[in-house]
Structure 1
Amino acid sequence: MGHKAVILGCNYYIGLSAIRCLGKYGIHTVAIDHSANRAYGAASKFTSERLIAPHYKEDKDAFIAFLKEYGRQQEVPPVLIPCHDSYVEVIDEHLEELRELYLIPQTKQGLYTEVMNKESLHRLAARHGVKVPETVRPGDDGYLDRVEKELKYPCVVKPTDSPSFVAVFRRKLFIAHNRQELLEAIEKAKHAGLDIIIQRIIPGFDDHMYTFDAYLNQNSTVTHWVSCQKFRQFPINFGASVYTGQLYVPELLEIGGAFLEKIGWKGFAEIEFKKDADTGEFYLIEVNVRITNLNELLRKVGINFPYVTYRELTGSPLEPHAVTQNTNRVFWYCYEDMLAIRDYIRTKQLTAWQVLRSLLKPKAYAIWAWNDPKPALAFASVIASKLWSKLRRK
């Protein structure tokens, strides 16, 4: 048996997509999660092995010990593929010891965390000439006046550590429309013990959000890349992709590719940009350092990033490739897109006709696959269970 692929996090469709991307090539996939409950991604027919590990946060030491013990049992090092930010944080903290047993693209300990942290990322981007939204920290001298004069209301209150913030508030950020709302948001974050920053909202509807998805080899050179344009997000305006299309934007290679190479990045990364509706300039918003929501779309349009990762780390890299033609294909997470559509129409940001027209595009589905239906059925069971619980509480 060759190198296995260990996928961390299978209770979301990102892990499912990674399993499918590798399993279709006959690679032995190991689906690891902290609970079998709701881990619908592991129901894929492409899952070779399914394991339950200690919780990565509640019992971090036991989780690392579990990974190390599994690694020691293998004849050759498995490729380690985290599919959630929290897994990446733990891997980065123990990078050197895990690299003794697993194949991991990143070699510099701390770089994952530096790029995931919004504050340090924006300092890094500014140092390399990449535009970022104007930012103010609570507690800075005259920060309230600076918000009113430089950032203006409404503004966003964002965490420096997104996974911890989302775990507490079940949302990615707060929006402050005035000083009172800003102070309330700051107090909430302070009470939760979380660091936050305040940023200007770059003007433009959700279709002004773009992604640059790339793989950089062990020489920190971009070998594979594709760009996309978001159409809808959930929650609307400041959420995750639920309807996003591939779109060739060469300028994103010039900005994003150059930035990743300069900081010595290795492996996969997805940079989210927003194009200023007034100036046309691209602003770096955040970087996802693990396989992302759009993975199935990226595979459908020509780049299988988990497989690219696997091949390079196991010594047989694929030929460089970029998607330089527009395919018109979109990623669709139907469940959350239905919720987003409801909110876009309620707030009059989109009309029903605009939504209907958009749905005619060829799709890459987040969960459904004709040749692998079990995960979708397992997901439907999860949703039905949630709905039943809500009805019982009423």
Structure 2
Amino acid sequence: MPNAPTAVLLGDLNMLRCFAGTDVPVIVVSTDPSDITLRSRHAHRAEVIAPFTNPERALADLESIAAPLEDRPILFYSNDEQLLFVSRHRERLTRSYRVRMPSAELIEALVDKRRFGRFAQTRGLPVPRQVSSREVDGPDAALARLRLPVVIKPDVHIGWFAHAELHGAAGPRKAIVSTTADELRAHWAEISAFEPNFIAQEFIPGAEDQVFSFHAYVDTAETVRGWFVGRKVRTFPREAGISTYLELADEPRVAALGFEVLRRSGVIGPVKLDFKHDPHTGALYLLDVNARFNLWHRLGAAAGVNLPLLAYDDLAHTTHMAPVKKYATDIRWLSFGDDLRSFLRSYRPTGALDVRSWLRSLRGRKIYDVFAWDDPMPLVASLKHYATSLVRRVAGGRLAPQQLTGAP
């Protein structure tokens, strides 16, 4: 009997744990030698490759990993930088690896928010109105076409958090909301100083708990092999932050719209659709389409829908699990450190949560971003990194921005 094809994962501890307890051999690959995923016991091998900013070396490193394997391995990717790297070099990479992804043109349109806005309009997708900083002459020209409040987002998120200006007292901001014309002018000038290419988009009212995501894996026959709906419980910071507490939800309207977006967009492979519910009108708006794996899949796997394993079965022609349509909604995913910081810096100061309410919300079944009883070394490595950073901070040393452990 032939050996099972190897899964090669470009980082991401949560995705790695989707393969725990299976017979799938896994090689974890990272461009960062300090990546805590490399310390996990669930990886059969751990390899460090050149950064993607040096594509020729990174490609050669990936080819050398695949070369001695008996069968072409299956390549998994979990962020926009990895997605674009694999897509832009797919002709060469697919000689050594198996992947399932949309066309290169479609991926470029999905990752770039300016291009995505145009794509969504041509496909009749329900997106908020937006303008690009390249298309208008400043914030007042934008306001002539948009209604307040307005949210500013970068065209491409790669490198966004490297800017210290985005790490405010409350936490890292994925986007910046302006409620008045003066605020928009100030934020426009602030962002333009370090990132000239961004979009201004009408902000859909409602807190982060009105943001839902539809996750699926779609094969080449455009058959959805598995899916689930997620909801953000909390983020860091409270507004436009990274996810810290997540749950799955039974939301038929979100699921129905998710299937409709898949049909209109033609996306195959792994996909995450972000929607926001307008509590005033009841409408659902599409905010984002991500054609890649992500840490939500760990929660999905714990709830009964293991999308990375379904993807593996599709590409390896194996049957580890049948297509699944039902999932549990009584288990949550928690990034404890970021959730605690968000409570202390954002939710508690604004009166959104008190100590008792926060503690009560942590009851029930959970899985964690880093901690796992059967896989302790990533937590040990994470605590070591934190202790080193704390010592440097106390000593007055200047630190690079901390690695964030929350969900995008």
User: TM-score w.r.t. structure 1 length?
Assistant: 0.91
Corresponding position: 1:43 with 2:46: no
Structure 2 gap segments, 5+ residues each: 167-172, 398-408
- Cα offset, 1:260, TM superposition: 1.8
> Residues 267 and 309 of structure 1 are in contact (CA less than 8 Å); yes or no, is this contact kept in structure 2?
yes
Corresponding residue SS for 1:322: coil
Whole-Å separation in 1 of the counterparts to 2:243 and 2:295:
7
> Residues 152 and 200 of structure 1 are in contact (CA less than 8 Å); yes or no, is this contact kept in structure 2?
yes
User: Which amino acid in the other structure matches residue 390 of structure 2?
Assistant: L
User: Which amino acid in the other structure matches residue 353 of structure 2?
Assistant: L
- 1:18 maps to 15
- Cα offset, 1:350, TM superposition: 2.8
> Residues 23 and 29 of structure 1 are in contact (CA less than 8 Å); yes or no, is this contact kept in structure 2?
no
| Shift in CA distance, 53/284, structure 1 to aligned 2, threshold 3 Å | same
- 1:53 maps to 49
Structure showing the higher helix proportion among its residues = 1
User: Which amino acid in the other structure matches residue 345 of structure 1?
Assistant: R
User: TM-score w.r.t. structure 2 length?
Assistant: 0.88
Whole-Å separation in 2 of the counterparts to 1:250 and 1:159:
31
- 2:368 maps to 365
Matches within 5 A, 1:140-155: 140=135, 144-145=139-140, 147-148=142-143, 151-155=146-150
Whole-Å separation in 2 of the counterparts to 1:269 and 1:96:
21
Corresponding residue SS for 1:349: coil
User: Which amino acid in the other structure matches residue 334 of structure 1?
Assistant: F
Q: 1:63 aligns with which of 53, 58, 82?
A: 58
- Of the structure 1 ranges 135-144 and 271-280, higher mean CA displacement relative to structure 2 is found in 135-144
Q: 1:204 aligns with which of 198, 203, 206?
A: 206
Q: 1:352 aligns with which of 355, 362, 384?
A: 355
- Of the structure 1 ranges 48-57 and 171-180, higher mean CA displacement relative to structure 2 is found in 171-180
> Residues 139 and 185 of structure 2 are in contact (CA less than 8 Å); yes or no, is this contact kept in structure 1?
no
Whole-Å separation in 1 of the counterparts to 2:380 and 2:137:
54
Whole-Å separation in 1 of the counterparts to 2:233 and 2:86:
32
Aligned length: 386
User: Which amino acid in the other structure matches residue 384 of structure 1?
Assistant: A
Q: 1:165 aligns with which of 160, 163, 170?
A: 160
Identity, in percent, stands at 25
Whole-Å separation in 1 of the counterparts to 2:144 and 2:107:
34
Corresponding position: 1:96 with 2:57: no
Matches within 5 A, 1:282-361: 282-317=284-319, 318-323=321-326, 327-342=329-344, 343-361=346-364
Matches within 5 A, 1:89-238: 89-106=84-101, 108-138=103-133, 140=135, 144-145=139-140, 147-148=142-143, 151-168=146-163, 171-238=173-240
> Residues 25 and 44 of structure 2 are in contact (CA less than 8 Å); yes or no, is this contact kept in structure 1?
yes
> Residues 333 and 369 of structure 2 are in contact (CA less than 8 Å); yes or no, is this contact kept in structure 1?
yes
> Residues 177 and 203 of structure 2 are in contact (CA less than 8 Å); yes or no, is this contact kept in structure 1?
no
Whole-Å separation in 2 of the counterparts to 1:255 and 1:23:
32
Q: 1:185-235: per-residue Cα shift (whole Å, max 9, x none)?
A: 434444435410001111111211111111111112212011011110112
| Shift in CA distance, 378/160, structure 1 to aligned 2, threshold 3 Å | same
> Residues 216 and 228 of structure 2 are in contact (CA less than 8 Å); yes or no, is this contact kept in structure 1?
yes
- Cα offset, 1:79, TM superposition: 0.6
Q: 1:42-92: per-residue Cα shift (whole Å, max 9, x none)?
A: 1111111111111112x1221122222333332211110112221111111
- Cα offset, 1:139, TM superposition: 5.0
- Cα offset, 1:181, TM superposition: 4.0
Structure 1 gap segments, 5+ residues each: 10-14
Corresponding residue SS for 2:159: helix
Whole-Å separation in 1 of the counterparts to 2:279 and 2:17:
37
Whole-Å separation in 2 of the counterparts to 1:320 and 1:51:
32
- Of the structure 1 ranges 376-385 and 148-157, higher mean CA displacement relative to structure 2 is found in 148-157
Q: 1:279-307: per-residue Cα shift (whole Å, max 9, x none)?
A: 11111111232222322211111011211
- Cα offset, 1:142, TM superposition: 6.9
> Residues 165 and 194 of structure 1 are in contact (CA less than 8 Å); yes or no, is this contact kept in structure 2?
no
